[in-house]
Amino acid sequence: MTALIEARDITMAFGETQALRGADFEAAAGEIVAVMGPSGSGKSTLLHCLAGILVPGSGEVWFDGHRIDLLPETPRSALRRDRFGFVFQFGQLVPELTVEENVALPLLLGGERRSAALRTAREWLGRLDLDGLGGRRSGELSGGQAQRIALARGLVAGPRVLFADEPTGSLDSLTGEQVMNLMVGVAREQGTTVVLVTHEPRVAAYADREVIVRDGRVAVAVGERK
């Protein structure tokens, strides 16, 4: 299968600390890949390089046939806004915005009219069983609600790739299962590629296959593409 997103022999250092040491990764369109490894192994750094948040020190990052690590910040920012979605461990909702404004944020930043963006946001709230929460703010939500809202925000613009960094790390096991079922279900429905960073085998089990990062390298690949 042709890779939609790919890292080729990338390195990344923070001062004297070498986070990535020639890491390779690829994911095909519609594939869900779990990136596992111990704390400090480089798995989140790999995700940030794939997403264009960080620029690797060397190597190449490709998306949809185009090399993105050479792009200036402005087009990389547009790529993150228009083609990628993100879900992080603690949701990272904007506390000053309402729930529906948080979900609509990628659409608003992309220039969509406010009324249309909020209408789409409300549709997503209904889709993830969050009806009635649109006017609340992040401080009024449970952890599970906040993470489902973060998931809606990550998917609202129809991204080609969803990057999920420990999306259940702050949730209890039952709520984590609910979030993962929703994430995988919607991703399958939309044909979205998912790059899922996790240290939990039960979360990685939702993926088509797993890769293991150790000491800044992708050391092991587990499973076959489905």
> Domains plus CATH for the chain?
3-222 (3.40.50.300)
Note the pLDDT of residue 184.
Answer: 93
Q: Tell me the whole-structure pTM to 2 decimals.
A: 0.92
Note the pLDDT of residue 109.
Answer: 92
Note the pLDDT of residue 170.
Answer: 80
Any bridge partners for residue 62, and if so which? 6, 67
Angstrom distance (rounded) from CA 212 to CA 210? 7
Note the pLDDT of residue 224.
Answer: 53
Note the pLDDT of residue 226.
Answer: 44
Note the pLDDT of residue 143.
Answer: 86
Note the pLDDT of residue 178.
Answer: 87
Note the pLDDT of residue 222.
Answer: 61
What's the one-letter identity of residue 117?
A: A
Angstrom distance (rounded) from CA 163 to CA 187? 11
b/e for 174-188, b at 16 or more Cβ within 10 A? ebbebbbebbbebbe
- The answer for residues whose C-beta is within 8 angstroms of residue 113's C-beta and 6 or more apart is none
Note the pLDDT of residue 173.
Answer: 87
- In order, the DSSP letters of 97-118 are SBHHHHHHHHHHHTT--HHHHH
Contact 139, 131 (CB under 8 A): no
- The answer for residues whose C-beta is within 8 angstroms of residue 181's C-beta and 6 or more apart is none
Beta strands in 93-223 (DSSP E): 161-165, 193-197, 209-214, 217-222
Counting as low any pLDDT under 70, the low residues of the chain are 1, 90-91, 220-226
- List, for residues 92-138, the tens digit of each pLDDT value: 899 999 999 999 999 999 999 999 999 999 999 998 888 899 999 98
Note the pLDDT of residue 144.
Answer: 86
Note the pLDDT of residue 102.
Answer: 95
DSSP secondary structure letter of residue 200: -
